[in-house]
Structure 1
Amino acid sequence: MTAMLAYFAYFKGWILSDFENISPQEAYVLLQKPSNILLVDVRSQKEFDKDHIENALHFRMDKLQEIELGTKKILLYSERGERSVEASRILAKKGFKVLNLEGGVVFWIRAGYEVKHN
């Protein structure tokens, strides 16, 4: 049971993480300020086309190893946060300062923030 809980906590990015989980409220405040934070959606192209947080860039999960960005601070999100935890680990290993939107776009919408619909 303990091993299963530890695995779940690791999978969610709650333990042994080299990135920071932030709430939708914290993310919103950060995105309102002029900064060098790059907002990246790691969902599928279909999900991104349906809706996304304004000014987000789209990078597929399978292309993250190839990313070479000028910025070193990245705010990642996915649908519910699982894929962005995985993406956060990949980019943190490449030396980026990574923030992960806890709960993904689902929690963003639940918190009352808007998304852009195509």
Structure 2
Amino acid sequence: MKKFFMCMLATLGLTTACAQQNFENVDVQGFAKLLTDTSVVVLDVRTSSEYAEGHIQNSILIDQGQSDFVEKAKATLPLHKKIAVYCRSGRRSANAASRLAEVGYKCVNLKGGIMAWRAANMPITKE
């Protein structure tokens, strides 16, 4: 029985290790550089109240926690453009980037989210 469990754990580990990420993660500097490209669409996937507290200039808000997130994204975001995705800490945006990549978007996630962005003294707006 012990050998069986060891084999199952090893198989699970190999499966997890082989899973490929379908989007790119970048740090604040990489994200800022990406935003200099006018063809990139900036997507904030936080809640509307978080967005109101401050967001990256020209970002589009689509809350990834809503059940119709993918449908709203498909109706709003151009499929042929790169999508720069962020949230508060990077976790929700990684989830959103993965979901969007599954339906054909090319996504880049901000590691550390807007918390990292603010820590690097990058600009935000409340407009």
TM range (shorter): 0.7 to 0.9
Aligned to 2:5: none
- 1-structure distance, mates of 2:122, 2:81: 25
Give the drift of 1:29.
1.3
* Superposition misfits of 4+ residues, deviation over 4 angstroms: none
Once residues 32 and 73 of structure 1 are traced to their aligned partners in structure 2, the CA distance between those partners, rounded to angstroms, is 12
Alignment of 1:8-47 (within 5 A): 16-34=20-38, 36-47=39-50
C-alpha displacement at 1:60, in angstroms? Answer: 1.2
Report the secondary structure of 2:123's partner residue. Answer: coil
Write the letter of the residue equivalent to 2:121.
G
Q: 1:65 offset after TM fit, Å?
A: 1.6
SS in 1 for 2:32: helix
Q: Is residue 72 from structure 1 mapped to residue 81 from structure 2 by the alignment? A: yes
1:95 aligns with 2:104: yes
- CA RMSD of the aligned region, Å? 2.2
* Structure with the higher fraction of residues in strand conformation: 1
Identity of aligned pairs, percent?
31
Unmatched segments (≥5 aa) in structure 1? none
Unaligned runs of 5+ in 2: 1-8
Q: CA deviation at 1:31?
A: 1.0
* Structure 2 letter corresponding to 1:103: G
Show CA shifts across 1:19-60 (max 9, x none): 0001110111121233x2110000000000111011101001
